[in-house]
Every structure is written in C-alpha cells, then in structure tokens.
A and B are shown apart, each in its own frame.
Chain A
C-alpha cells in the first residue's frame, strides 16, 4: 500500500514524512515524528487531550486525517517551553495545581494557548467555554480555570 508524503511545520520546525492511508495526525506526531506530548484519550472527540493547534486554532489531532495538514503549522505542548524555561501557562498551571494525573494537561494547555492568543483578557465564562471540549477527571476544573485566568493576568502584566 502506497504511503502519502506530508509536510508541515511542527512547533516551527519543517517536518516531512510518509503516512499510511487513514493515519491520523496524533499517531503521526507520536509514532512518526516522536512528539509524545499530545495524548490519545477517547479517539472520538470527547476528551480533548489530543488537542493541537493547526494554524493557531485548536483541533483534535486524533480526528484529523494526517495528510490534510499539508503545508500547515502545527503546535503542540512539546513546543511550549524554551529548554528549561517553561511557558507561562505551564508554570502557572504548576503553581495553581492545575494538573493532578496530568493526562488532560496537554489538551488543556493548547486550548488555553489558543484562547489567550485571541483574547488576552478572558472572563471566567470565556475560559470555561474555551476548555469545554477538554475533560479532566481529577481537578474538578477549578484550579485549571484559575491557572488560565492567572496566566492571562501575568502575561498582560509582562506586556504592559
């Protein structure tokens, strides 16, 4: 069976590989590229832990046919930190105990990143809406919502 070539940028790096027919983006990132930051949860669009940004917008990588991202820009949690310097979202998630088991965290971080890029000053309601497609079974969501709101405040403060 012929494989299909696909090229995209992953966290700013040019990436090219061959994918099998029907391969989803999540498998392609994890097994093909070796970026293990997006996780497989439900495989059906319910849990959101596979969330990545495609051209800045959140998408479910497990439901994205890999070859459809040809020429597009993919961002994952693996590209958030700069070496040992964590992204503000990552640091504030830690400070606010926004992760317990951590399985939902990559999806939460990417959903939050997409929100803050568009809306640097979100209301609590807007934060809840932004992560409404991401399920967390540990935290009860409150520390995550607090962390996203706190990050927004810190990032605004830094820019100002």
Chain B
C-alpha cells in the first residue's frame, strides 16, 4: 500500500523525500507507475502550494513554476513562444495535468517540452534556491536530490526559435523524435545556435557538433550542409516500438533540415 504525504511548501516536501518517495506533479508519470504496479516507490509526496503554477517575467527572463501545466503555458501571454510546443504534448486532458516540472523527468520517448527548454538554454531552480543550466540538470537528473521549483528562459526573438515533433500518428502521437532549435543571428548569420533532440537518447540532448557547424553560416541549404552531416554526433537513440535506433539516426538529418529551412508539413 502506498502512503501519500501532502505538504504546504516545496521546502517541506523536499525535506520529506527519500529514495522510496516520488514527487507527484500532474500525475501522468507517477500514477501510471502506480497503475502498473511499480514497486520502486512506496511513498508519494505532494504539495498544496498553488504558487508553484505561476508563470511570470522576472528580470528579463520568463520564470515557469514547476507545477505549471502544459495548458497553463498555452494560456499565459509570457510563454506564447512555447504555446505551440505545449500544444503538441498529448491531448487536452493530458495538457491539463502534465506539468513542466514533471516533463523534466519524463523518460524516453517523452520530454518534448524539455527538449524545447534545452534548446532555449533554460535554467533550472531547485527548492533550495540553487540554480543550474538545464543541460547539467538533465545529465544528473536520475541521481538528483531535492525538488525542482521552476525553470527560466529568455524570450527568443521573432522566428529564432523553432520546434517540431515527429510522430507517426496524427494529430497526436508519441515522438519518433522532437527537434528544437534556437538560431540567434548577427548580421544575417547564425551565431551561438542551439539544437536539441528529444527521443534521441536517455534524456533530451544537444547536437553540439551541428551547433558548431552552424556558427557564422547563412540559414540556407548550402549553409546548413555541414551541420546536417554531423547532426547525430553525440546522440544515442534507442530502439523502441515506434522506431529503431538505426531509423532515428537515418532520418534525424532529414527532419533537422526541414526545421532549419522551415520545410515540409508536420
């Protein structure tokens, strides 16, 4: 039998976490485990604090509370640039439940929203007030202690940010992969690009070789050629019922090309 412990604040909940505990956000991951008899946890920890759902601007960055749902992100004016990403996470019921904090821990092939946050150089704030780059957070998430309080991102300019979810079932299906790119430009040329792939490894991962190959190039077929040739360097996709690792590696450059050049339909 499971025990559910409810706290008023995130700090109290963080203090109550043990290796046998799971923190309940929207329930789409934890309750699935409960329904399927997951024996790896005996305690569910949750908080009542509604402020965890807040989305606000703070010193030039957008802060999204860990408890904000995909529907909250779609509704908030501050996160309009992420509305299309949130809309692609499940149907309306899932979006009313699934939280940004939970998505940070979603195992393969989930975590599309986190892929977008990774491309936007998000920062993850923990319940103890410490903050870390999302990339560091993701590489250590399986062993982290403490709880996530919020994530923050800078608002990208105009069409600098793009996201595409590749799935076999329309309009909603699980990711074969998701791709998020942030393409800041200086004098028309790409500078400090970010490319993140979801469902192409144990966590969302950056395609750093491709990012470097985009430095200083024009955003056209010729300019991105080198980046496409190294698109999957550093990624480690796995086989699942949707696609084999081989297939994912083969099609990743094709989909990256479409995202970068704005080609093709979803």
Interface set of A (CB-CB < 8 Å, partner B) = 1, 4, 20-22, 24, 43-45, 48, 51, 54, 57-60, 62-65, 67-68, 111, 114-115, 128-134
* 8 Å CB contact of B34 from A24, A54, A133: A24
* In the complex with contacts A45-B32, A129-B171, A68-B97 CB distance below 8 A: no
* In the complex with contacts A1-B1, A45-B32, A133-B172, A22-B91 CB distance below 8 A: no
Contact B171 A65 (CB under 8 A): no
Contact B28 A65 (CB under 8 A): no
Q: How many residues of B contact A (CB 8 A)?
A: 26
Contact A44 B27 (CB under 8 A): no
A45 to B1, alpha carbons, bound, how many Å?
A: 22
Q: Tally inter-chain residue pairs, CB-CB below 8 A.
A: 92
Contact A132 B92 (CB under 8 A): yes
Contact B97 A63 (CB under 8 A): yes
Docked complex: B91-143 residues within 8 A CB-CB of A: 91-94, 96-97
In the bound complex, residues from chain A placing their C-beta under 8 Å from that of B93 are 45, 48, 51, 58-60, 111, 133
* 8 Å CB contact of A64 from B2, B6, B31: B31
A–B Cβ pairs within 8 angstroms, 27 of them: A20-B2, A21-B1, A21-B4, A21-B44, A43-B35, A44-B36, A45-B93, A48-B91, A48-B93, A51-B93, A59-B93, A59-B97, A60-B93, A60-B94, A60-B97, A62-B31, A63-B26, A63-B28, A64-B97, A65-B44, A67-B6, A68-B27, A111-B91, A114-B92, A129-B171, A132-B172, A133-B172
Contact A45 B28 (CB under 8 A): yes
Contact B4 A22 (CB under 8 A): yes
* In the complex with contacts A21-B4, A43-B32, A63-B27 CB distance below 8 A: yes
Q: Is B24 an interface residue (CB 8 A)?
A: yes
Residue of B nearest to A44 (CB): B32
In the bound complex, residues from chain B placing their C-beta under 8 Å from that of A62 are 31, 35
A123 to B89, alpha carbons, bound, how many Å?
A: 21
Q: Is B3 an interface residue (CB 8 A)?
A: yes
Min CB distance B149 to A, Å, is: 20
Q: Is B46 an interface residue (CB 8 A)?
A: yes
In the bound complex, residues from chain B placing their C-beta under 8 Å from that of A60 are 28, 93-94, 97
* In the complex with contacts A21-B1, A43-B36, A129-B171, A63-B92 CB distance below 8 A: no
Residue of B nearest to A67 (CB): B4
* In the complex with contacts A20-B1, A21-B1, A22-B4, A63-B91 CB distance below 8 A: no
In the bound complex, residues from chain A placing their C-beta under 8 Å from that of B32 are 43-45, 63
A114 to B95, alpha carbons, bound, how many Å?
A: 14
A64 to B223, alpha carbons, bound, how many Å?
A: 48
Residue of B nearest to A27 (CB): B35
Residue of B nearest to A21 (CB): B2
A51 to B31, alpha carbons, bound, how many Å?
A: 15
Contact B94 A133 (CB under 8 A): yes
Min CB distance A80 to B, Å, is: 17
Q: Is B90 an interface residue (CB 8 A)?
A: yes
A58 to B69, alpha carbons, bound, how many Å?
A: 13
